[in-house]
């Protein structure tokens, strides 16, 4: 997908964001999808109305409603200044069914709740453009996590993301441990016994009811699909059968996390090729740089809306064998999205007392929470520092001098 323009040509898409910060964010989204960054502009609906009155109208027009006091009036005014063939898509933070229905009644193509994940934006633009290749809308998303090479902590990152998404982001999610020879997710998440993967992959038909009976439940919002260790080589999988599994899981859960071994067993590349978010874990070594470049070439870019996150997970302290971050990024041709802090053996030692616990590594937990937000299409939460405990806040309040009445 390439939407680059020749000088003086009419853009087939324009997006008017609410403010400069949102303009930069959606400009980056559009660049990932193959559009020029200049297609994103600031000013919201008011700027869109002014622009359409003075210029030819593009085929697709996206407008942010957040700063508009009378959104329906503004949309009506915008529609009157646009060609009937122009598809208008609204963006906003209000989760209001009545507003959504009214906007559709007024001729809008769709209303997207912010923040809009890259894959949802790509999916909506494809539908609005009338592509015949569009597939039915998904109810859930796939997050595929793999590593440039073995030992990069893929399973630890997946289990940590799953815990944080289910417990702190209150998201209904599932983990698929695709290491069918020696998976670790049951140990990391504190689940004993078979978690259904063998039966599901061996079944001729897969449906949501069968999956619900087969999967292991970790907590109220988190489920596991895995199998016990098997030293026998895993048989090759039918790709259609595997994609059917992924599709059914996306009908059951908001986020489906796949733990894909670095050895890329049969079916792993197919999952990566179809995931809405791909997370590649790597370390700043020459070997990992070469493996990362090879994998990036294999799975393609983000022009189809598949968000790609390159994450450094240091498996060793800074020292011999590591290269400079700038050198690494220049070699692979892509910037690093996030660097996780080195935690040594703290996490592995926590497994001696039960499931994986992030309590002893708050910096790592916060970094994983940022990664969880990025993977779901949300900007990471801004933290103002370590909050005061209740006791310290009480002491602080009692120590304040009283003001005169």
Tens digit of each residue's pLDDT (9 = 90 or more) over 30-79? 998 989 999 999 999 999 999 999 998 899 999 999 988 888 889 989 99
Of the candidates 263, 255, 228, the one whose C-alpha atom is nearest the C-alpha of residue 172 is 255
Residue with the two structure tokens 């997050």? 143
| Percent of the chain residues topping a pLDDT of 70 | 86
| Rounded Cα distance, 364 and 133, in Å | 41
Question: Which pLDDT score is estimated for 386?
Answer: 45
Mean pLDDT, the chain, rounded, equals 85
Closest CA to 355 of 159, 201, 207: 159
Residue 217 β-bridge partners: 223
- Least confident window among 135-144, 192-201, 353-362: 135-144
Q: What's the CATH code, domain 13-128?
A: 3.40.50.2300
pLDDT at res. 389:
43
CA dihedral 100, 11, 26, 41 (to 10 degrees): -90
C-beta of residue 219 within 8 angstroms of C-beta of residue 191: no
Q: Is the pLDDT of residue 135 over 90?
A: no
Q: What pLDDT sits at residue 404?
A: 41
Q: Give the model's pLDDT for residue 180.
A: 84
* Pick from 5-19, 190-204, 231-245, 343-357: least confident: 5-19
In terms of pTM, does the model score above 0.85?
A: no
Handedness of CA 257, 260, 265, 268 (dihedral sign): positive
User: What does the pLDDT read at residue 396?
Assistant: 43
Element (H, E) at 90: strand 87-92
User: According to DSSP H, which parts of 190-275 are helical?
Assistant: 197-202, 208-214, 239-252, 268-274
The DSSP string of 361-399 is -HHHHHHHHHHHHHHTT-PPPP--SPPPPHHHHHHHHHT
pLDDT value for 193:
77
pLDDT for residue 344: 79
Query: Could you give the residue range(s) of every CATH 3.40.50.300 domain in the chain?
Result: 141-375
In 282-323, which residue ranges form alpha helices assigned H by DSSP? 286-299
Read off the tokens for 238.
């039918």
Phi, psi values for residue 178, rounded to 5°: -90, 5
Nearest CA to 377 out of 112, 8, 37 is that of 112
Domain(s) labelled CATH 3.40.50.2300 in the chain stretch across 13-128
The maximal CA–CA distance of the chain, rounded, in angstroms, is 80
> 73-106: per-residue pLDDT in tens?
899 899 988 888 899 999 999 888 888 888 888 8
Minimum mean pLDDT range among 25-29, 153-157, 190-194, 381-385: 381-385
396 phi/psi in degrees, rounded to 5: -65, -40
Helices (H), 81-225: 97-105, 118-128, 154-167, 185-189, 197-202, 208-214
CATH class of 141-375: alpha beta
pLDDT of residue 391: 44
296 within 8 A of 273, measured Cβ to Cβ: no
- Confidence band (pLDDT; 50, 70, 90) for 208? confident
The Cα 6–Cα 45 span in angstroms is: 27
Confidence of residue 317 (pLDDT cuts 50, 70, 90): low
pLDDT band at 316 (very low <50, low <70, confident <90, very high): low
- Is the Cα dihedral 264, 267, 268, 273 positive or negative? positive
- Residue 138 confidence (pLDDT): 53
Give 11's pLDDT tier (boundaries 50, 70, 90).
low
């Amino acid at each position: 997908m390439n939407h680059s323009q020749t000088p003086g040509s009419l853009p087939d898409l324009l997006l008017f964001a609410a403010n400069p910060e949102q303009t930069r964010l959606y400009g980056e989204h559009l660049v990932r999808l193959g559009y020029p960054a200049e297609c994103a502009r600031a000013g919201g609906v008011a700027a869109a109305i002014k622009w359409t009155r003075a210029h030819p109208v593009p085929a697709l027009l996206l407008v942010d409603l957040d700063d508009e006091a009378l959104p329906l009036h503004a949309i009506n005014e915008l529609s009157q200044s646009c060609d009937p063939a122009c598809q208008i898509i609204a963006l906003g933070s209000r989760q209001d069914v009545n507003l959504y229905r009214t906007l559709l009644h007024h001729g809008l193509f769709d209303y997207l709740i912010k923040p809009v994940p890259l894959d949802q934006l790509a999916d909506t633009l494809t539908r609005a453009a009338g592509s015949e290749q569009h597939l039915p809308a998904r109810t859930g998303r796939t997050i595929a996590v793999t590593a440039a090479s073995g030992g990069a902590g893929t399973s630890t990152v997946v289990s940590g993301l799953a815990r944080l998404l289910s417990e702190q982001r209150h998201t209904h999610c599932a983990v698929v441990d695709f290491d069918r020879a020696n998976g670790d997710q049951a140990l990391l998440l504190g689940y004993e016994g078979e978690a259904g993967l063998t039966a599901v992959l061996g079944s001729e038909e897969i449906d949501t009811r069968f999956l619900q009976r087969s999967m292991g439940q970790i907590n109220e919002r988190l489920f596991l699909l895995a199998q016990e260790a098997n030293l026998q080589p895993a048989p090759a999988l039918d790709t259609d059968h595997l994609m059917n599994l992924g599709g059914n899981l996306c009908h059951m859960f908001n986020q489906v996390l796949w733990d894909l071994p670095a050895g890329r067993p049969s079916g792993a590349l197919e999952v990566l090729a179809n995931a809405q978010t791909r997370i590649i874990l790597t370390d700043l070594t020459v070997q990992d740089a070469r493996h990362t470049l090879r994998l990036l070439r294999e799975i393609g870019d983000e022009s189809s809306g598949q968000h790609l996150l390159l994450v450094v997970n240091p498996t060793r302290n800074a020292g011999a064998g590591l290269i400079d971050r700038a050198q690494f990024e220049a070699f692979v041709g892509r910037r690093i999205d996030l660097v996780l802090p080195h935690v040594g053996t703290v996490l592995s030692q926590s497994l001696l007392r039960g499931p994986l616990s992030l309590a002893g590594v708050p910096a790592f937990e916060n970094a994983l929470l940022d990664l969880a937000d990025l993977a779901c299409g949300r900007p990471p939460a801004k933290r103002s520092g370590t909050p005061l405990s209740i006791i310290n806040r009480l002491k602080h309040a009692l120590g304040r001098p009283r003001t005169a009445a």
